[in-house]
Structure 1
């Protein structure tokens, strides 16, 4: 009998992880908690257990003879779910609560980088509105304003003028737009350059980098509109040279992994480095303690080796094998509910997107209505992924699929991949 793997989470990232795991001959079953009903189209089971309900998770793991657990989203990691599972003798792939601080607190991450001379923007941390306003007025714009804690990818404002920065501070400290995530704020120097995402599998002092991707954060075409959790991504990123990636691995990923271990918070799981290629070399914008979303949906389809086998090897203290398709490019376009990232319209019917062996649909914010039909239930609804020999061809084919489908109550960007193709 093969492995039964439990994936924690409910979004497109978890759909992509579960789909990759299910392709392994080692695996007989993948269950996602709580998952979403779109995952069932790929024979992925779901169970209605909230990731915060640890007792219910432990009971399910015991009763269903779960082999090991992959923790997808940031909140359960920051809450210490990996520690709890390990304390009960359950193998869990994901960092400890202490190590997950690298995402849970931007101030923690910035201090770590300062101590170990890891390249990142100069910054200050402020704990009150007045202190932050004074800093902005003395520093001037452009400046980057970040809520210190978790804000679902939306707590960052790149302020090109002072008024925008002060408005962002008002949102954080007065309107409490990001709740407890805004108890303090990190103010950073603005960095010029193209951003890219470099994710790595990590086991203590060892790590295995993945191909890089580039995410599109703004809601609308031409990088207009508010920041979102991500409206699409693509991989590879041809305008970011191999020398830049190698420098990022040597000067950022390697010393960060080493620093975490040296300081008593060794990291095991997925380390996400959000980077920017500046004229002075790559620098860190942010770290996450898990796979990025939507980058996962374009990077994992390029994996040609066995994901479940690799993670099992890490559990066993062995070196995992990772191989990647270098002959194809992959692009993913997020379809979101009207109003996202603000107040969204839910209940929109989900179109049936035609796919083939080179494409896939990963579901996120979907539910079933009274008639059993899939409808939108939150901001980012699904992602259509397309692979092809060139990025241009992948872009053309993914938009042919999307443009041929009814999108009442939904929207998507029409220029994912443009930075590479127009470079």
Structure 2
């Protein structure tokens, strides 16, 4: 069996690792992969055309990690060529690629979310900023690698942010339109569903930490750590989340003749007024995947195949306990960051997923903002957290930064 994984981050390393756990004899290919994926498969040149490679090498299944290829229509290309692929088509991927469209979709099917307005004109957005209460959230409509959501605390702050996005083009075309929505207070969580054959299953809840600094301070990142499951989401609350979000989205897919297959990831806020959706993604979360897949005992590969073949997800078997993932980042991230720093191990970490790493002349170097994901598993959240932070002590690179509160008592 041959499987191609699209992407080169910690999520893709985790996906490949889990596939190998289920099917040790599988031949894995990563496009482009990283310094960790070479230990479980073959890394391909970034210039490789995925459809051509899959066709010419008899790839049995392709799994797409990041959002950009999905939004660009990679699934449509594969299906047009009769190739199996896990992920939603271009039309469905618009739920992540266009935040304005996603908000409209939620409104149509009564999926709870923050009140909002959408703007494609700077002057109109400024007029709105002059009359609203604060804080508010300004979001670029397009893809921004998890960094396009900005909390503003005053009119002055809002106008400066709008100018940065819409006039100075900080996010390029992604910021040609913005959504301005009411700021929600509460606790965030990530709920991931796998859809196929008109059915879906929910994975265990997880909690991601987007801010760069301890105490959820500073600018947004792609994610500095995560843990699963989430103690404050019990079965009753998860059932409520299922009813008001996933069942209503499924109804929307059916009414609008959308054959949604793959992952629907709901970033939610648990507020005093109930559950609200912050955003939808159409792929596995990063770093949520790195703390979810280690808790899966079996069934992952079967589910990937069943969904890609148009059938319902076959289901996953889970292990008991908790998992904590802590991201090791380069100095300067999420801004301009350092790279090319040699990574050294004092001893072999027990559980590690690579992200921004690469080998050169037999040595491992940093090559991205988020460099590695260190994972700990335990019977309790406290035990899992202690294991993860103990493992970090085995790793060093110049400028290495990580949050020290992932999975702590305040989360």
1:77 maps to 70
Name the TM-score, length of structure 1 as normaliser.
0.93
2:306 maps to 313
1:235 maps to 228
- 1:103-161, Cα deviation, whole Å (9 max, x unpaired): 00000000001111110001000112211111111012110100000000000012233
CA RMSD of aligned residues (A): 1.7
Q: How far is the alpha carbon of 1:285 from its aligned partner?
A: 0.2
| Alignment partners' CA distance in 1, 2:75 and 2:25 | 21
Q: How far is the alpha carbon of 1:325 from its aligned partner?
A: 3.1
- 1:183-230, Cα deviation, whole Å (9 max, x unpaired): 000000111110000001101521100001000000011111111000
1:364 maps to 355
1:47 maps to 44
Return the match for 1:395 from 385, 388, 392: 385
Q: Is the CA contact (8 Å cut-off) linking 1:13 and 1:72 kept in structure 2? A: yes
The alpha-carbon distance between structure 1 residues 248 and 151, as it changes in their structure 2 partners (threshold 3 A), is same
Secondary structure of the equivalent of 1:141?
Answer: coil
- 1:150-177, Cα deviation, whole Å (9 max, x unpaired): 0000000122333332222122112211
Q: Does 1:405 align with 2:366?
A: no
| Alignment partners' CA distance in 2, 1:322 and 1:101 | 26
2:217 maps to 224
2:372 maps to 382
Q: Is the CA contact (8 Å cut-off) linking 1:244 and 1:282 kept in structure 2? A: no
Q: Is the CA contact (8 Å cut-off) linking 2:223 and 2:286 kept in structure 1? A: yes
Q: Does 1:115 align with 2:108?
A: yes
Q: Does 1:416 align with 2:406?
A: yes
1:14 maps to 12
| Alignment partners' CA distance in 2, 1:170 and 1:21 | 45
2:36 maps to 38
| Alignment partners' CA distance in 1, 2:246 and 2:157 | 32
Q: Is the CA contact (8 Å cut-off) linking 2:84 and 2:309 kept in structure 1? A: no
| Alignment partners' CA distance in 1, 2:313 and 2:221 | 34
Unpaired segments of 5 or more residues in structure 2? none
Q: Is the CA contact (8 Å cut-off) linking 2:62 and 2:86 kept in structure 1? A: yes
1:328 maps to 321
1:94 maps to 87
Q: How far is the alpha carbon of 1:317 from its aligned partner?
A: 4.5
Q: How far is the alpha carbon of 1:323 from its aligned partner?
A: 3.3
Q: How far is the alpha carbon of 1:316 from its aligned partner?
A: 4.1
2:133 maps to 140
| Alignment partners' CA distance in 2, 1:317 and 1:184 | 34
Greater CA deviation, 399-408 or 187-196?
A: 399-408
> Superposed, which structure 2 residues align to 1:140-219 within 5 Å?
140-219=133-212
| Alignment partners' CA distance in 2, 1:116 and 1:395 | 39
Q: How far is the alpha carbon of 1:49 from its aligned partner?
A: 3.5
| Alignment partners' CA distance in 2, 1:191 and 1:322 | 33
> Superposed, which structure 2 residues align to 1:283-362 within 5 Å?
283-352=276-345, 354=347, 359-362=350-353
Q: Is the CA contact (8 Å cut-off) linking 1:5 and 1:30 kept in structure 2? A: yes
Q: How far is the alpha carbon of 1:355 from its aligned partner?
A: 5.2
1:60 maps to 53
Q: Is the CA contact (8 Å cut-off) linking 1:353 and 1:401 kept in structure 2? A: no
2:237 maps to 244
The alpha-carbon distance between structure 1 residues 390 and 268, as it changes in their structure 2 partners (threshold 3 A), is same
> Superposed, which structure 2 residues align to 1:122-137 within 5 Å?
122-137=115-130
